[in-house]
Structure 1
Amino acid sequence: MGIKINIQLGNCKEKIKVKYFDKEIEKLEKISKGDWIDLRSAETVQLNAGDYKLIRLGVGMILPDGYEAIVAPRSSTPSKFDVILSNSIGVIDNSYSGNTDEWRFPALAIRNTIIKKGDRIAQFRIIKNMDPVELIEVDHLNAISRGGIGSTGWR
Structure 2
Amino acid sequence: MLTINIINRSGHPLPSYQTAHAAGMDVHAHLAEPITLGPLQRALIPTGLFMEIPEGYEAQVRPRSGLAYRHGIGLVNSPGTIDADYRGELKVLLVNLSDTPFVVQNGERIAQLVVARHERVGWLPTEELSETQRGAGGYGSTGTK
d(CA) in 2 for partners of 1:129, 1:33: 21
Q: Distance in 2 between matches of 1:105 and 1:135?
A: 36
Letter of the 2:25 counterpart: I
Give the counterpart of 2:113 among 107, 112, 124.
Answer: 124
Structure 2 residue corresponding to 1:28, chosen from 2, 15, 19? 15
Write the distance in 1 (CA, Å) between the matches of 2:41 and 2:106: 18
Q: Secondary structure at 1:76's aligned position in 2?
A: helix
Partner of residue 76, structure 2: 86
TM-score, normalised to structure 2, is 0.81
Moved over 6 A (4+): none
Aligned letter for 1:49? P
Q: Is residue 75–residue 92 contact of structure 2 (8 Å, CA) maintained in 1?
A: yes
Is contact 2:58-2:117 (8 Å) kept?
yes
Change (3 A) 1:20 1:80: farther
Structural mapping, 1:5-154, within 5 Å: 8=1, 14-23=2-11, 25-31=12-18, 32-43=20-31, 44-97=34-87, 101-111=88-98, 112-139=101-128, 141-144=130-133, 145=135, 147-153=137-143
Identity, % of aligned pairs?
A: 26
* Alpha-carbon RMSD: 2.1
Query: Structure 2 vs 1, CA of residues 129 and 146 (structure 1 numbering), >3 Å: closer, same or farther?
Result: closer
Structure 2 segments unaligned to the other structure (5+ residues): none
Rounded Cα–Cα distance in structure 2 between residues aligned with 1:75 and 1:108: 14
> d(CA) in 1 for partners of 2:143 and 2:107?
40
Aligned length: 139
What amino acid is aligned across from residue 17 of structure 1 in structure 2? Answer: N
Look up the equivalent residue of 1:117 and give its one-letter code: N
Long gaps (5+) in structure 1: 1-7, 9-13
